[in-house]
Amino acid sequence: MRLRILPTGYVLLVGDLVAFLLFAYYGKLAHNLPVTIWGIGETLAPFLIGWIVAMFVFRTYGERVYSSWWRQLLTMLFTWTLAAPIGLLIRAWWTGVPITLIFAAVAYFVTLAFLLGWRLPFAIVHLLWKKTRHQTIH
């Protein structure tokens, strides 16, 4: 079974990666840590691994996902809800720092805000584009 990704899926992927980068960047700034490529990568890697696992489970960038705006947002929510604990566990294992409830909640909701902050407008624009395109064809 092959996952077919259209250009819209690649736009979603790039936007999601930017959201994750913003999460890591914001985290470094909020904790007064140096913002370096290595530091951002170190913060980002466990969560990206979790995202990759979850995106295969939910087929996050598959063609069916962006057939409707609500499916885009719901799939993203499911994907992040699975990816976040995976990322937290990997981070705890890698760093040796135990997971705290406050960190887990902040990481989950701040990243969710970044993801929704770009995905919601994208879903609306994509819906309007599809309607406009559909009307011009018929």
Integer Cα distance of 96 and 63 in angstroms:
39
pLDDT of residue 62: 87
Q: Which of 19, 124, 5 is nearest to 72 (CA)?
A: 124
Q: Give pLDDT tens digits along the chain (138 positions).
A: 566 777 888 999 999 999 999 999 999 999 999 999 999 999 999 999 999 999 999 999 988 887 788 899 999 999 999 999 999 999 999 999 999 999 999 999 999 999 999 999 998 888 888 778 766 665
What DSSP character marks residue 61? T
Torsion region of 134: left, alpha or beta (phi above 0 gives left; psi -120 to 50 gives alpha): alpha
